[in-house]
Chain A
Amino acid sequence: MKDKKKITLFERILTREIGIEFKACLYFFTQLFFYSVFRLCTGRTDAEILHMAEMIFACYIICYIQVYLLWDFDEADNLGLKEIAGMLICTAIYTGLSFVCKWFEGNFWVYAGFAAYVIFTYICAFLVYKVKRKIDDKKLNEDLKMFQSGRR
């Protein structure tokens, strides 16, 4: 009985991996958006496939770091000091990579703008996860009341 209702280690790892895949895609698309806007602003309507490959690879690696080493800060219950530190570390890695890989070929302000944009996306993701949990709270409490009133 116990074994059936418990989530196995494999299921737990799989859930976490799916979470990382989802995050990597989410952050890749936000960065691609910034990259596309930058290209359009500089008069180009094409995108370097190498840059996109670097971006998605960077997103995967950084999402692994985020989940396994940096307290999965965008899904945290509250935004404390360590979560902010995690956000800043990941932002610094993204910005550093964008500079090394020459994603924007721009001046300092473009990279500063990119860093600010990454922080903004992290804050948005944190708020989205928080709102999602709030909605989940409502559903959970409705189910609890139903269970208690009638044990369906």
Chain B
Amino acid sequence: MRIDIQHISSGEDEVIVRYREKTPKIKRILDAIGADDVKICGKAGDETVCLVLDDILYIETVDDKTFAYTMNDVVRLDGSLARLEEELEDDRVFRCSKSMMINIDKVERLKALSSNRIDATMINGEHIIISRTYASEFRRILKGGRREG
């Protein structure tokens, strides 16, 4: 891959990515510059709000309703957790229990619990338990393993 970096003294900063095929490396570059961010929209009260993954701490399903939690808001989303997981299709999104997905980038620290569970403290101080069913996969992803499927 040819890389061309230019320093400019005036004008707007610009990033041009040219690719024939979206390889994992290209995808990571697009992720890093936020060019490939999927927007998911929902309702916060009466207002329609669109979120990118970077805004979301975690997504939870309660009584068949799906909510995305940001630092300041709770946004009601359309669709199931499984559909959102497919839509977002990002290594940062991890299904940590039957009813919850977390954004790994928004985890502040982790604590190993008994029975192979993991307590994830989010940047807003909330604790989310990664159940033992999903803990091994979580460890694998943190070690750099790509998502299967």
Chain A residues at the B interface, C-beta cutoff of 8 Å = 1-2, 4-7, 12, 15, 72, 75-77, 129, 133, 136-137, 140-141, 143-144, 146-148, 151-152
* Contact of B110 with A by CB under 8 A: yes
The total of interchain contacts (Cβ-Cβ below 8 angstroms) comes to: 73
Q: Give chain B's interface residue range (CB within 8 Å of chain A).
A: 20 to 34
- Taken together as a complex, chains A and B put the C-alpha atoms of A137 and B105 apart, in Å, by 17
**A147–B144 touching, CB < 8 Å:** yes
Residues of B within 8 A of A144 (CB): 104, 107, 109-110, 142
**A4–B149 touching, CB < 8 Å:** yes
* Contact of B139 with A by CB under 8 A: yes
Chain B residues at the A interface, C-beta cutoff of 8 Å = 28, 31, 82, 85-86, 91-92, 95, 104-105, 107, 109-116, 118, 132-134, 136-137, 139, 141-144, 147-149
Instruction: Classify the interface of chain A: helix, strand, loop or mixed.
Output: helix
Residue from A5, A129, A151 within 8 A of B31 (CB atoms): A151
- Taken together as a complex, chains A and B put the C-alpha atoms of A146 and B114 apart, in Å, by 24
